[in-house]
Amino acid sequence: MTKIVIVGGVAGGASAATRARRLDEQAHIVLLERGPYVSFANCGLPYYVGSVIKDRGKLAVQTPQSLHARFNLDVRVQSEVVAINTAAHEVTVRNLQTDETYVETYDKLLLSPGAEPVRPPLPGADLDHVLTVRNIPNVDRVTAILDEEHASSCVVVGGGFIGIEMAENLAERGIRTSVVEMASHVIKSIDADMAADLHAELRKGGVGLRLNTGVSAISQEGDSLAVHTSNGETLPCDFVILAVGVRPESAIARNAGIACGPRGHILVDDRMHTSAPDVYAAGDAIQVVDFVTGADTAIPLAGPANRQGRIAAENMLGGDCRYTGTQGSSVVKVFSLCAASTGLTEEAARAQGIAFDKTYLTQGHHAGYYPGARMMGIKVLWDPQTGKLLGAQAVGPEGVDKRIDVIATAIRLGADVRDLASLELCYAPPFGSAKDPVNMAGFVAENVLSGKLRQFFPEDVADLPRDGSVTLLDVRTPHERVVNGFIDGFVNIPVDEIRERADEIPQGKPVYVHCKSGQRSYIACRILTGLGYTCYNLAGGFDRWSAATRG
């Protein structure tokens, strides 16, 4: 009989435990969890704070009792592993209720300790009402401050997933909320030009947004706190949420001599095996391979943690399953918008010196003639030589996750960006269009790679010469320019008038064209190309340029 000891529950550990039982009814499986809850919906915590999830009990996905009843697991909560002896195949466990310690032997050991929120070394970071959000006791503290102390204001430090989800849910509860973020934009997994739509949505929802801004200190001011920012501003509030990132809880592994990476993540091979005999690891504490680039990275997400736990269980029981890497597919809700992404961002590609081409498109989330269609923006990156898909992002209402899921699958299967054009996707007017946005992204990329379409981008607009050496053309209607504004230097000739007014466009000069989204300007470019002009189309159109410059 194999004895498996698992350190840490939630996604990776609980998945490994239940998978192991399904594979081996005779195995002795011990699951040790330091906290009071062995399996809980940590991704649901902000929505409990916001009263979207009203029943606190719904956060506990499984209990020790339910796991024992269904899977015959020996689950011990409030049991902290304080040491590992890899040579003796033993762990030392402290019972946090009694403070007693004991030794547990193992045949196979899985480490799934997760990652803890970073508490930066700021003056005042340890004050009573400066909180982090990782588990149910954390949100119990937040809800107590809201419900019992009747707090009315909060500063969220950090604009990642947890920070933005907490800010949204606090604002929905009527709490005056500000977000302070050191980077130029929120949500690192999308680029600044796409995050601009989220910035507008956050402000529309009543969230104060301070970008390119750090926190220098937090101080107690009577019964309240004050957050002091790097630009000299002071933000008074009743409590602070620190959401500036996470670090792996890998000290127990390091102390046992198990190899860890430069940022402290436990090193594993593609079978989830560590450097120690019979010791495996999964979840947020491990270093993984980026599926797109092949580089070492760390991407703390629930989906990969579950898969890693499953693979570890297979291999602990004699299987040969392989983990092929993480591509970082994710989605976040921001009031009425969603932002989803997969693979590389433009910022990440530039930082790693990876060549790419890109495009944007804007299209309704379902057929335009069906009531209620709202626009979504999509950005796709690919290798300019091979067309290999590198990444994609989308911001909009419903359906954003569907489109990124399709592209994430295409990336996983090694697709060329042009393959998106031939995908046969579900269509009915309430759900999409006959030419789905994913197909349209493939059509645009086909045109770019074949040379039928030359693009320029929002970041290029300011540097275009206004000295007459090029022609700058706005092919929207005059009414659109009045209502929505215009880009300085662009002359207006509506797309449907280009053939009749072509004599107003000088020959021999490059023509840079834009419309609202890039579709009409592409048609204009095809007309002009047929008339002998060299034409460039503004990818994403006026709307993407406007959002990107608005920030």
- Alpha-carbon span 511 to 190, nearest angstrom: 30
- Alpha-carbon span 339 to 150, nearest angstrom: 32
- Alpha-carbon span 218 to 461, nearest angstrom: 41
CB atoms under 10 Å from CB of 76, counted, come to 15
DSSP 479: H
CB atoms under 10 Å from CB of 433, counted, come to 21
43 assigned to active site: yes
pLDDT of residue 63: 86
- Alpha-carbon span 141 to 293, nearest angstrom: 41
pLDDT of residue 22: 97
- Alpha-carbon span 371 to 344, nearest angstrom: 34
Virtual torsion, Cα 535, 538, 542, 548, nearest 10 deg: -150
Q: Which own/partner contact pairs does 527-530 have at CB distance under 8 Å and 24+ positions apart?
A: 527/495, 527/498, 527/499, 528/498, 528/502
- Alpha-carbon span 101 to 73, nearest angstrom: 21
Residues in the chain, how many? 551
- Alpha-carbon span 175 to 238, nearest angstrom: 10
**Intervals of the chain under pLDDT 70:** none
Chain position carrying tokens 């399953």: 321
Query: Angle 357-359-365 (CA atoms, 0-180°, nearest 5)?
Result: 145
Q: Which own/partner contact pairs does 474-478 have at CB distance under 8 Å and 24+ positions apart?
A: 474/513, 474/514, 474/515, 474/542, 475/513, 475/514, 475/515, 475/520, 475/521, 475/524, 476/514, 476/515, 476/516, 476/520, 476/542
Virtual torsion, Cα 542, 543, 544, 547, nearest 10 deg: 120
Residue 487 vs residues 198, 207, 228, 246: alpha-carbon distances, Å? 22, 29, 37, 42
DSSP 431: T
* Per-residue pLDDT reduced to its tens digit, 23-59: 999 999 999 999 998 887 888 999 999 989 998 888 8
Q: Which own/partner contact pairs does 249-254 have at CB distance under 8 Å and 24+ positions apart?
A: 249/113, 249/114, 249/115, 249/116, 249/285, 250/113, 250/285, 252/7, 252/81, 252/82, 252/83, 252/84, 252/111, 252/113, 253/84, 253/111, 253/113, 253/281, 253/285
- Alpha-carbon span 377 to 403, nearest angstrom: 11
Residue 390 vs residues 188, 430, 548: alpha-carbon distances, Å? 16, 30, 22
pLDDT of residue 387: 97
The pair of three-digit structure tokens given for residue 175, joined into one six-digit string: 């709490």
Instruction: With H, G, I as helix, E, B as strand and everything else as coil, classify residue 207.
Output: coil
Query: Angle 154-143-169 (CA atoms, 0-180°, nearest 5)?
Result: 55
Residue 481 neighbours by CB under 8 Å, 6+ apart: 474, 492
pLDDT of residue 398: 85
Q: Where are the alpha helices (DSSP H) in 400-465?
A: 400-412, 437-450
CB 171 within 8 A of CB 205: yes
* Per-residue pLDDT reduced to its tens digit, 182-194: 999 999 999 999 9
Residue 330 vs residues 55, 201, 448, 460: alpha-carbon distances, Å? 26, 19, 27, 29
Chain position carrying tokens 């969890």: 33
- Alpha-carbon span 410 to 388, nearest angstrom: 10
The pair of three-digit structure tokens given for residue 272, joined into one six-digit string: 């989830």
- Alpha-carbon span 70 to 25, nearest angstrom: 11
pLDDT of residue 60: 78
Q: Which of 43, 154, 426, 525 is catalytic?
A: 43
